[in-house]
């Protein structure tokens, strides 16, 4: 397996979830054992650039898959950022702008400890709204966001510029 083979497994779906959006579907990567293992190994190597990490923060929903695999491989704990109505206990919420609308994310109030060094993991960076809202949640809880990590970065949408205050690692820039 190599990066070009891995990239070939990313499926593009036109007009999903709305007309004009070119959705990057990573399910073919997850369905390919060698591809998924290679992806986790590559992202694990990139994690080292952030220094001492105490916890990964997974963004719903595909970020859950990637961050879980990375947490197990790297012996790290995991916190979850969820969509509205998904958390059963005390939580805080952050609203944000999506590429195609409005969104809201939440975290349990005990998901992050004071000064805990965090890397937020998601599958894709588009405009940066989701990762920015996730970072704000972590910081409201007292955590220190030392990095953001994504599988795919859609460079043309300006997410990296929006997130300029954070160190960002992406496996593919498209």
What tokens does 109 get? 């109030």
What is d(CA 40, CA 60) in angstroms, rounded to the nearest whole number? 18
The torsion angle over the Cα atoms of residues 36, 37, 42 and 44, rounded to 10 degrees, is: 110
Residue 132 annotated among the catalytic residues of the structure = no
Annotated catalytic residue, options 7, 54, 99, 139: 99
DSSP letter at 10 equals: P
What tokens does 35 get? 């591809």
Instruction: With beta carbons less than 8 A apart as the criterion, state whether 105 and 85 touch.
Output: no
Q: Nearest to residue 103, comparing CAs of 59, 145, 139, 148? A: 59
Q: Nearest to residue 29, comparing CAs of 12, 17, 14? A: 12
Residue 62 annotated among the catalytic residues of the structure = yes
Catalytic residues: 62, 99
């Amino acid at each position: 397996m190599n990066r070009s083979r891995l990239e070939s497994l990313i499926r593009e779906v036109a007009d999903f979830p709305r007309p004009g959006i070119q959705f990057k579907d990573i399910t073919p990567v997850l369905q390919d054992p060698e591809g998924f293992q290679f992806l986790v190994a590559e992202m694990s190597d990139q994690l080292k650039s952030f220094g001492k990490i105490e916890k990964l923060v997974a963004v719903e929903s595909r970020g859950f898959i990637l961050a879980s695999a990375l947490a197990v491989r790297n012996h790290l704990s995991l916190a979850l950022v969820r969509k509205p109505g998904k958390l059963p206990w005390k939580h805080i919420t952050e609203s944000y702008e999506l590429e195609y609308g409005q969104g809201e994310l939440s975290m349990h109030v005990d998901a992050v400890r004071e000064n805990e060094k965090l890397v937020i993991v998601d599958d894709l960076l588009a405009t940066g709204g989701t990762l920015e809202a996730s970072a704000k949640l972590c910081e409201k809880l007292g955590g220190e966001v030392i990095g953001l990590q994504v599988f795919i970065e859609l460079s043309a949408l300006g997410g990296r510029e929006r997130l300029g205050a954070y160190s960002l690692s992406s496996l593919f820039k498209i």
